[in-house]
Chain A
């Protein structure tokens, strides 16, 4: 605890008048030190303009979709029934319900990816990116099913009743069970990237977008938001003030619902444009609308955002789901396959439609092509930059109060995603260094520091690093999923048989 206090005392020092300089310096150092890593992860497949990592995720999702016979379609109805509690034994009440498992995992994924990430995707890839994003979301459901089933099956249960699970555990134990080599090595590699992903996408990207939104709407400098955010997160994850997290967990789902409702209202107000918006999406998906990279550019942006937003294949949700006590790993997998659907197919699509329908992206009336600015992004109607400001401008064009509500939502989404990812990060950290309070404290202090760094760093540097770190988790996770998917299939077939025979029975 003493180290924690020392760190707290150091925070006001960072807030000295020299902070603007410091922010710039941090930005430069950050961009310079992460550039090589980003380039490696996003290097193109030889002879194409497609980053290999995007292909990696999509091919994975396709393989799982076919291998499990379109499980996302077959099990969709059953998954909804499980979440409604139809198969929950009333005697087990008081344990985590399927609904709670779903919402806890969603609080880590529904966040700025849905608001800011989508805006970035359409501002580079045009309306057509939406189509590919939805497709990637639908395919990702099969990946999520695979990883979460394994997460539950191979978790560690401790005598005190607590549970640790996630890709690092199923990689190690699953590989050992199948007699495959390198399980331990891959599990550690995954954990390293999970820690980086927690600091990147789960932290800096969130802090960055929250700070820039608060700056653009309320005029508060980013370093202040950075300090406030890292202070609150510090209080929650180190100070143990759980009540803040508890309040957020209760507010965030309503914010998510409110976001969708406001989005629907805007679509409803522009109902005559809905047909046009969809035709724009289809046109952009299959033809060149003048964006960088043409149609392939739209595909890349759509897939990239979907993967970043719903985290299918990344392995993070498997950590959250493995903590749930259930007799059936497969039923947890079914619950989890709803996440990419809610996250990407519903919420992300809502953002994209609102941006398209309020005509934020400027199209040359003569050629039907998007008008590009110097940096390769599509010019926007209000000149708003990509990310949250664009979404904010789109919502603001319909309701003048929307940007303020959005600022609050962005702040809360960012906060809840950070809390969830700090948990993922801790799990990966303790997998590598062993369980222990001091070890957890070290990681949590690093985590709080990176919130500040993320808030003051420029968007491009942060977004690239966040994506790179998250996608690196997918490298090892998906290799493992390929090797372990026969185990999932066995579990799935046994589950479906027992469901049919009535051995798994409904209680309602």
Chain B
């Protein structure tokens, strides 16, 4: 049975580590990789009338930047190695959307990096890795 690894990838150092971890395992198992870049977004934030008008344009720009700058170079590199790679950009609550994507793509495992917040900051804002540890629908590896 072919495996699919969903890797949270936003170009940060932490996500590079998660990718390296996932790619190493994919080379061994022949699993397909799905790189997911989720931009934090709340539908309940407040926008001014002008921001409302410009939102679609901004979103198009943001998605374009995420694809060309962050995802495309990595995908190219991995495909050159012979790995099967897909990439996706979504908006929303990062941990929840990653969980939904794992289901949508039929992922068998997830890999996320952790940023290592401590103390008050972590308590107040939580973290993607911490939340996923609780809500991930498939086994989730948190890469330090």
Contact = CB atoms under 8 A, between A and B. Distances in A.
A228 interface: no
B122 interface: no
B92 interface: yes
Interface in A70-99: 85, 88, 90-91, 93-99
Interface string B22-48: 000000000000000001010111111
A104 B52 contact: yes
B55 A96 contact: yes
Contact of B55 (A95, A250, A423, A424): A95
Contacts, number: 99
Contact of A93 (B43, B46, B50, B57): B43
A249 B47 contact: yes
A107 B59 CA distance: 23
B53 interface: yes
Given A94-B91, A96-B52, A162 B57 contact: yes
Interface string B90-102: 1110000100100
Contact of A245 (B48, B60, B92, B100): B48
Interface residues of A, number: 40
A162 B47 contact: no
Given A93-B41, A94-B91, A160-B57, A101 B52 contact: yes
Interface in A242-271: 242, 245-246, 248-250, 252-253
A168 interface: no
B65 to A, nearest CB: 13
Q: Give the interface size class of chain B.
A: 20 to 34
B46 A249 contact: yes
Given A93-B92, A95-B56, A250 B46 contact: yes
Name the residue in B48, B50, B92 with the highest tally of chain A Cβ atoms < 10 Å from its Cβ: B48
A250 B51 CA distance: 13
Contacts of B81: none
Contact of A94 (B46, B49, B53, B59): B59
B139 to A, nearest CB: 23
A265 to B, nearest CB: 24
Contacts of B41: 93-94
Contacts of A253: 46
Contacts of B51: 104, 246, 249
B3 interface: no
A93 B60 contact: no
Nearest to A419: B48
Nearest to A254: B46
B13 interface: no
Interface in B68-98: 90-92, 97
Contacts of B54: 162
Contacts of A93: 41, 43, 90-92, 97
Nearest to B45: A100
Contact of B57 (A88, A90, A161, A416): A161
A149 to B, nearest CB: 17
Interface stretch (A5-13, A30-38, A319-327, A376-384): A319-327
Contacts of A90: 90, 92, 97, 100
A96 B47 CA distance: 9
Contacts of A420: 48-49
A91 B50 CA distance: 23
A354 B43 CA distance: 33
Contacts of A85: 43
Interface in A26-51: none
A424 B49 CA distance: 9
Contacts of B43: 85, 88, 93, 97-100
A162 B52 CA distance: 10
Contact of B48 (A91, A97, A246, A324): A246
A137 interface: no
Nearest to B91: A94
Contacts of A245: 48, 50
Contact of A103 (B46, B62, B91, B100): B46
A323 B90 contact: no
A167 interface: no
A99 B59 CA distance: 17
Contacts of A325: 55-56
A111 interface: no
A108 interface: yes
A188 to B, nearest CB: 22
A410 to B, nearest CB: 19
B48 A163 contact: no
Nearest to B55: A96
Contacts of A98: 43
Max count, chain B CB within 10 A of own CB: residue among A100, A246, A319, A325: A100
Contacts of B59: 94-95
Nearest to B46: A249
A108 B43 CA distance: 19
A325 B60 CA distance: 12
The list of the 3 closest CB pairs from A to B, nearest first, reads A94-B91, A97-B43, A93-B91
Given A90-B90, A100-B44, A100-B52, 15 more contacts: A93-B91, A94-B90, A94-B92, A97-B43, A100-B45, A103-B47, A104-B47, A104-B48, A108-B49, A245-B48, A245-B50, A249-B48, A419-B48, A419-B49, A419-B50
Interface of A: 85, 88, 90-91, 93-101, 103-105, 107-108, 160-163, 242, 245-246, 248-250, 252-253, 319-320, 323-325, 416, 419-420, 423-424
12 contacts: A91-B90, A93-B97, A96-B55, A97-B43, A100-B44, A100-B45, A100-B52, A163-B56, A250-B45, A320-B49, A419-B49, A423-B49
